[in-house]
């Protein structure tokens, strides 16, 4: 039974499944670590922020500085939570979409390209949130976000978006052409 005619799901490559499962495992470990090491993570982030006062606009006045540090800590925590959330979601998205591509993509070339884009894009994207979280104490909220955007979110996110629409269009076209 070929991919085009299959009425059963065809398995995507093992490397893709392994990537998705590892991503979900990373998400779960990340979520558990956020709870287990919350205090240590907060202490670390605070100490790095205090070591980079200019980056965070710290002026040496406790009332002013605490507000700036608290805001950065909230974003630091949010970045870790978003990693957890997106890695869980993208793991499932990778499995669902690559399974569909393996089964329904018309040609070998399209199938390979779709699976590669969905796997690499989906697996890489959530790590942008980890990068952002790690960068916040060193370079600040906005600079960290810009770096994560250009290094991770835009390239990996674009790969996923392009592939998801491509796959939806392929399946939509098959739906329309169906006798």
Q: Is 90 in the site for another protein (CB under 8 A)?
A: yes
The 10 Å CB-count burial string (b at 16+, else e) for 26-41 is bbeebbeebeeeeeeb
| Binding segment (CB under 8 A) for another protein, from list 24-32, 66-74, 82-90, 135-143 | 82-90
CA–CA gap between residue 46 and residue 130 (Å, rounded): 17
Q: Is 171 in the site for another protein (CB under 8 A)?
A: yes
Rounded to a whole number of angstroms, the minimum distance from the CB of residue 142 to another protein is 12
| Binding segment (CB under 8 A) for another protein, from list 2-10, 23-31, 55-63, 70-78 | 2-10
Q: Is 161 in the site for another protein (CB under 8 A)?
A: yes
CA–CA gap between residue 156 and residue 30 (Å, rounded): 20
Q: Is 164 in the site for another protein (CB under 8 A)?
A: yes
CA–CA gap between residue 88 and residue 145 (Å, rounded): 21
Hey, what long-range contacts does 46-49 have (CB within 8 A, 24 or more apart)? 46/73, 46/137, 48/137, 48/138, 49/73, 49/137
| Binding segment (CB under 8 A) for another protein, from list 30-38, 39-47, 135-143, 155-163 | 155-163
Residues near another protein (CB under 8 A): 6-9, 85-86, 89-90, 92-93, 95-97, 99-100, 103-104, 149, 153, 157-158, 160-161, 164-165, 167-168, 171-172, 174-175, 178
């Amino acid at each position: 039974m070929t991919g085009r005619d299959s009425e059963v799901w065809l398995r995507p490559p093992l490397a893709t499944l392994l990537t998705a499962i590892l991503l979900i495992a990373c998400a779960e470990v990340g979520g558990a670590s956020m709870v287990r090491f919350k205090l240590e993570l907060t202490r670390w982030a605070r100490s790095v922020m205090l070591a980079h006062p200019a980056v965070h606009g710290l002026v040496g006045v406790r009332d002013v500085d605490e507000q700036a540090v608290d805001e950065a800590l909230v974003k630091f925590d949010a970045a870790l939570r978003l990693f957890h959330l997106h890695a869980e979601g993208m793991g499932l998205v990778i499995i669902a979409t690559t399974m569909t591509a393996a089964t329904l993509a018309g040609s070998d070339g399209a199938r390979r390209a779709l699976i590669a884009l969905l796997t690499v894009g989906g697996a890489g994207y959530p790590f942008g949130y980890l990068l952002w979280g790690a960068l916040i104490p060193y370079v600040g909220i906005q600079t960290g976000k810009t770096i994560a955007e250009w290094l991770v979110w835009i390239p990996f996110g674009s790969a996923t978006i392009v592939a998801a629409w491509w796959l939806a269009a392929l399946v939509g076209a098959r739906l329309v052409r169906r006798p």
